[in-house]
Structure 1
Amino acid sequence: MEDQKIISGATEQEIWDTIAADLAAEGELLDYNVIIDQDGRQTELYIDIDLGGGFESGSELTQLSAPLSVNRDFKFAIHDEDFLDTIGKFFGLEDMKMGYPELDDHVVIKTNAPEKVRELFADAEIRTLFTGLEDFDFGIHTHHLEDSDGDQTFLEFNLNRGITDATELRKLYHAFYTVLVGLEK
């Protein structure tokens, strides 16, 4: 079994300088998986680009995932609004409104603590990032880990696009990490 590559640094800039160099060294990137260790928090970055072939159309995924050190009852899930969500809203399906129209008009938000979500997305830079994304989901998920006695709670972000540009990846990571830190306060 191959050891998991871990990238760490004293600052976010140092980490992303290393990742940018690592991505550049990879050449044509189809699969990339590293653990980013920042301030003792570990976030897995996974990129998978399947070009398909024959009758297959291929697929792409960029994923960030980090275990949460505190297991609270707080839950939230955000995804971009699609056609079915628009129909559901027409028929009365409700989602949380944050009070930021540019984001509220673009995403569907489910939570058991609206004020906490508003706090997590108070940063205009984070809201702008999520307003510009398509085909994504972001939230708290619980997974049963086979090598442990119980379940583990994770913050997860999934984007159905394989991002290989270090600058764009860093913006996603920064927003993810900011929310992660906010959750663990």
Structure 2
Amino acid sequence: MNFLKALFGPSRKDVWRQLADEVDGQFHEVGLFNPFAVQARTGDWTVTLDTYTSGDGKTNQTFTRLRAPYFNPEGFRFDIYRAGVFSGFGKALGLQDIEVGHPRFDRDFVIKGNAPRRLRRLFGNGRVRRLMQAQPKIQLTVKGRDGWFGRYPDGMDELHFQAHGAIKDLARLRNLFDLFTEVLWEVCHGGRAHEDDVPFHVRRLSAPGGRITNKYVLWEGDRPRRDAAAALGRLEDPAAIPALADVLWDEDAVLRLRAVEALAEIRHPGAIGPLVPLLGDARKAAGLQFRDGVAEALRQLGEGELVVTVGAALGGDFGRLKTYDGGYRAEIIAALGHALEGSSGAHAANALAEIHAVEALPRLREVQRSLGTRDATGQAVAAAIGKLEARASLPRAAAAADVEVDTLPRSAQAPGPDPGTLPRGSQAP
């Protein structure tokens, strides 16, 4: 073995294992035909190095590739390769040839893209240009959602490199990992991470969660989103409220709880409305009843009375709810609507009837279709629908604004029209 190493150099397995150590990544031994892979995290992304074989069974070729899924809602696309290679490839993608304003780089590379200004900014980064120049052969492109890549969620694309053969040049491979890191930071965050920058964390929060897996885990979106929610709470900027409100119903229970905590930390009245409907959510988060975390957040925002009122109603005591005048009626009705399918469903239905919430009829009918009248909750829902439909059918008194003033009858003493304007009778003088 030592003789073979001396003759041919270290094996690809040895080189890739060393690369994994250098980039603080993982070395995977996975299968017979594509046995090795290296993965490393950089920022919010996972960069995966592996090989694949393509051909017709008679003449097969091996390719080395790097790929990294990332959030790209703007649809920024590019395809970059050394001049004289892959000529015309980008035309099929609807991309245009672009010069980025650096003569040597423009001479050595074909640069195609759909956003010239963003490409010029990307290659205004001298380190990106130097890392590209160090690659003897390179094609760096953004793979969209077409074809095989359609498995990615909306807004996700893939930064992709490929080259012929199985690369075992350690310096070149390390250069490629560094290039991916630099390009991802540029295209996603303008080159720098601003830990005190609200838009930076809002973008992280809006990326898809969950996992993308194909032999390996290519994308793990939950941890970055949780970190972003916590950071937005720490920054206490009300501008983050809409983004945090958008994830309050997310499938990731820990993210939901982080968003609730962040809204409480921001301590702005605008955070109250999005939280109130969650008082009817009986799901768990981080091992706790999610509703408890919401209630605590609302108390911190000065809405302790609202919490007690809704809690009492869900326990069957409607007195406070019927006299409550603290606002947020629509949000309270939404909370009761969400509670219909939980353990407090019967009380929630009765509460909606008690406060004459005819606006809840669509939600009640939806739950009735799901539950029927098999149990106490279904029966309470049916009864509430009957009461509210009867109320909705009652005639309303006309508002004063609905009646034109000049159509009302005049009193006998009221001044009438000018007699001179009346038609004269035939006997009139």
Same fold (TM over 0.5): yes
Let me know the Cα RMSD of the aligned residues: 3.7
Aligned equivalent of 2:39, options 35, 38, 42: 35
Tell me the distance in 2 between the aligned counterparts of 1:102 and 1:64: 26
Question: Is residue 2:124 matched to residue 1:119?
Answer: no
CA gap of 1:166–1:49, structure 2 versus 1, over 3 A, is farther
Tell me the distance in 2 between the aligned counterparts of 1:124 and 1:177: 14
Tell me the distance in 2 between the aligned counterparts of 1:123 and 1:18: 25
8 A Cα contact 1:76 1:140, kept in partner = yes
Q: CA deviation at 1:104?
A: 1.0
CA gap of 1:18–1:48, structure 2 versus 1, over 3 A, is farther
User: TM-score, normalized by length of structure 2?
Assistant: 0.32
1:91 alignment counterpart = none
1:165-184 aligned within 5 A: 165-184=169-188
Question: Is residue 2:171 matched to residue 1:158?
Answer: no
Tell me the distance in 2 between the aligned counterparts of 1:64 and 1:83: 19
Q: CA deviation at 1:103?
A: 1.4
**Aligned residues with identical type, % of pairs:** 22
2:111 alignment counterpart = 109
Q: CA deviation at 1:165?
A: 2.8
Question: Is residue 2:22 matched to residue 1:16?
Answer: yes
1:8-157 aligned within 5 A: 16=22, 18=24, 31-48=35-52, 56=59, 59-82=61-84, 85=87, 95-143=97-145, 152-157=156-161
Tell me the distance in 1 between the aligned counterparts of 2:85 and 2:169: 29
8 A Cα contact 1:45 1:65, kept in partner = yes
The range that moved more, 167-176 or 129-138, is: 129-138
Q: Given residue 111 of structure 2, which amino acid in structure 1 is its aligned partner?
A: I
SS of the aligned residue for 1:116 comes to: helix
8 A Cα contact 1:32 1:48, kept in partner = no
Tell me the distance in 2 between the aligned counterparts of 1:120 and 1:76: 11
Structure with greater helix share of residues: 2
Q: CA deviation at 1:70?
A: 3.4
Structure with greater strand share of residues: 1
CA gap of 1:116–1:61, structure 2 versus 1, over 3 A, is same
Tell me the distance in 2 between the aligned counterparts of 1:77 and 1:17: 26
Task: Name stretches of at least 5 consecutive residues in structure 2 with no aligned partner.
Answer: 1-18, 89-95, 190-429
8 A Cα contact 2:77 2:114, kept in partner = yes
CA gap of 1:83–1:63, structure 2 versus 1, over 3 A, is closer
SS of the aligned residue for 2:112 comes to: strand
2:251 alignment counterpart = none
Q: CA deviation at 1:123?
A: 3.0
8 A Cα contact 2:69 2:158, kept in partner = yes
SS of the aligned residue for 1:99 comes to: coil
8 A Cα contact 1:43 1:64, kept in partner = yes
CA gap of 1:37–1:83, structure 2 versus 1, over 3 A, is closer
How far does the alpha carbon of each residue in 1:31-79 deviate from its partner, in whole angstroms, 9 at most, with x for none?
Answer: 42233223331111113589xxxx74x6342211111123213211112
8 A Cα contact 2:71 2:155, kept in partner = no
8 A Cα contact 1:120 1:182, kept in partner = yes
8 A Cα contact 2:143 2:158, kept in partner = yes
User: TM-score, normalized by length of structure 1?
Assistant: 0.66
Tell me the distance in 2 between the aligned counterparts of 1:84 and 1:157: 13
Tell me the distance in 1 between the aligned counterparts of 2:85 and 2:162: 19
